Amino acid sequence: MSEMNVPLLDLKAQYNTLRDELEPIVRGVVEDQWFIMGPQVAEFEKELADYVGVKHAIGCASGSDALLLALMAHGVSHKPGQPVQRVICPAYTFFSTAGSVSRLGAEPVFADIDPVTYNMDIKHTRELAKKTENLAAIIPVHLFGQSIDMDAWIALGEELGVPIIEDAAQSLGTKDATGTPVGSRGSIGCFSFFPSKNLGAFGDGGALTTNDDELAEKLRILRVHGGKPKYYHSVIGVNSRLDALQAAILRVKLGHLDNWHAKRIENAHRYTNLFAEHGALDSATPLSVNTDAPAIRTPTGVEDPARHIYNQYVIRVPAAIRDDLREELKSKNIGNEVYYPVPLHLQECFADLGGAVGDLPHSELAAHETIALPVFPELTDQQARYVVETVVAYVNQHAPQLA
């Protein structure tokens, strides 16, 4: 048992099952020598639009660029002499959700999260929106592969008259409570194909989705420096295209995605059931509640027709032992990660926005208590049991009795 090795992600295991399919495709692109845009990108965009259930999918260079382009398409920018525009986004997310806002000279305004789902708290967002001047957009994130409550967020966007840009970087194939894929109901959906995502490229890649013809046209122009026709620029864009090589690889992988999702969901349920056998409760019960259960909280999961794709499987343990547990897991060859150790309102680069410890308690607590476990599709039952037993043994031995 102790010789087991459980990486956080096993991309080689995935590649081994795809090698025969991928090699001729990659060779084909190399033979064609058509590397930028072209038929592979166009076909992938059609297939992605079908998968998400939207009229338009537009490839770009990364999920971060997707966010940047989405904001640009909505006119977010800093114009000298004009008041600064603001965009509300969660404090507990990957950096680029807010970085994209700052890069355009606009100002991120950080909302707290719901401690059960880790997604942005809509009540707090509404409060912030009411007192935020020049609010240009809201970017909720479908964190870890779980949808936000789209009905409620769409209604909030309409109430406030601002676009809801979905950061769906971790959530291609996630379905909301109505069973609708994320990235199809907001003004624009932003996706990432970073290699560790459920649909990962062989490098960076991203895409935008929308049902709005005008926004789609803007995005297509913005990603090629704002030129249309080529070399004629009515707007200033960026160079952000999806490589043909990446598009060709993603087309192959997209065909396997639902199968991989199913395996991740199976692995997540297995973990949750195994933790529950040891008495662990789910994240709806705060860790601070005094029970005889081990101080471990598992994700609550979702019910049909919603679909959580478990881009990450994240548990909570007491902050006092979280980092030591990570070390223990490392010493037992169990990969793990903390998404994210520093909430964005406390990042050094955002210090001028005035965020302070205690401002966003749920984001801060999550940053100290959460830990992501390996949930990749090829994870075996034996590996999952080893992970659970290692976590439970450590927590039972070291977690102080919670009062």
Ligand X SMILES: Cc1ncc(COP(=O)(O)O)c(C=O)c1O
Q: Which residues sit at the interface with ligand X, rule CB under 6 A?
A: 62-64, 93-94, 96-97, 141, 167, 169-170, 192, 194, 204, 206
- In this structure, the number of other CB atoms found within 10 A of the CB of residue 171 comes to 30
Helix (H) or strand (E) holding 316: strand 313-316
**Residues 403, 400: Cα–Cα separation, whole Å:** 9
Closer residue to ligand X (CB): 191 or 275: 191
Shortest separation between residue 85's beta carbon and ligand X, angstroms: 20
Take residue 99 and report the two structure tokens written for it. 């970085």
Q: What is the closest distance, in whole angstroms, from the C-beta atom of residue 344 to ligand X in the complex?
A: 11
Beta carbon of residue 142, minimum distance to ligand X (angstroms, whole number): 8
CB of 113 to ligand X, least distance (A): 12
Nearer to ligand X, 121 or 167 (CB): 167
Buried (b) or exposed (e) across 288-312, using 16+ Cβ within 10 A? eeeeebbbbbbbbebeeebbbbbbb
Cβ at position 168, least distance to ligand X in Å: 8
| Closer Cβ to ligand X, 29 or 172, answer by number | 172
Shortest spacing between CB 339 and ligand X, in angstroms: 8
Which of 92/260 has CB closer to ligand X?
A: 92
The answer to whether 140 and 166 have CB atoms below 8 angstroms apart is yes
What's the rounded Cα separation, in Å, for the pair 311 and 376? 8
Name the residue nearer to ligand X (CB basis): 48 or 391.
Answer: 48
- The Cα-based distances of 292 to 279, 316, 403 in angstroms read 8, 16, 11
Integer Cα distance of 317 and 399 in angstroms? 8
Q: What kind and span of H or E run contains 207?
A: strand 206-210
CB of 166 or CB of 369, closer to ligand X: 166
Residues whose CB is less than 8 angstroms from the CB of residue 306 and which lie 6 or more positions away in sequence, other chains included:
147, 175, 176, 177, 179
d(CA 181, CA 376): 21
Q: Pick the closer one to ligand X by CB: 62 or 198.
A: 62
Q: How far is the CB of 324 from ligand X (least distance, A)?
A: 26
47 DSSP assignment: H
